[in-house]
Amino acid sequence: GEDVEQSLFLSVREGDSSVINCTYTDSSSTYLYWYKQEPGAGLQLLTYIFSNMDMKQDQRLTVLLNKKDKHLSLRIADTQTGDSAIYFCAWGTGRRALTFGSGTRLQVQP
Amino acid sequence: NAGVTQTPKFRILKIGQSMTLQCTQDMNHNYMYWYRQDPGMGLKLIYYSVGAGITDKGEVPNGYNVSRSTTEDFPLRLELAAPSQTSVYFCASSYSQGVTYEQYFGPGTRLTVT
């Protein structure tokens, strides 16, 4: 079956780096994703990584993938108050639907 | 483009009532999905559709029905509302030709069943 673990909450100070982690059991997906959900809104794709890559950098975002340990992480450099949101890791299945983690709430303190 | 729109934004139902949650997308996406998000949890797939006239069950389909008569619309029907259906419902769509499976989400419908 598919199971995902994400820590529930992370608090950082503005300007610090944030690291959000995700551990999964199903390794068959071609792409793994990070989605962001702001209060009262739907989910928005933040970034993604192809499963044969170890790292992807996209401006302030760095995604690390350790396939051996089935561990995915999202690092946000120079975290801003506008980064406060819930972050979900997710991956695609053969039917093109997504399986989501339970989400990590990031709180950025000024 | 409006993207994915959902109505209503909020709704309170009594146990046993019925309602339809509306979802429309204007991006000509073939694939559409309904998810529910319970408090503190990730999203769970209820139903999905790979094109007009084709629907299939997801992880948690019991108590729901869907139809897909057009590419644009994918309504979700609750026939006999139960408190366990209190949740936030998200509709999403994606390209059929894309390789990254990126999904575009609507703003959600918050449903309370009392």
Segment B57-84, tens digit of pLDDT: 998 999 999 999 999 999 999 999 999 9
**SS3 category, B48:** strand
With contacts defined as CB-CB under 8 Å, which chain B residues touch A92?
A: 101
> Which percentage of chain A shows pLDDT scores above 90?
57
Query: Is the distance from CB of B10 to CB of B110 less than 8 angstroms?
Result: yes
With contacts defined as CB-CB under 8 Å, which chain B residues touch A44?
A: 105
Q: What is the Cα–Cα distance from A55 to A71, expressed in whole angstroms?
A: 12
Closest C-alpha to B7, from B112, B107, B113? B107
Which pLDDT band holds residue A1 (cuts at 50, 70, 90)? very low
Beta pairing, strands B10-13 & B109-113 = parallel
> Which percentage of chain B shows pLDDT scores above 90?
82
Each residue of A65-86: pLDDT tens digit?
998 898 999 999 999 999 999 9
- B103 at A interface, C-beta within 8 A: yes
Q: B98: Cβ–Cβ under 8 A, 6 or more apart, which residues? A: none
Q: What is the Cα–Cα distance from B82 to B88, expressed in whole angstroms?
A: 14
Mean pLDDT along residues A3-13 = 86
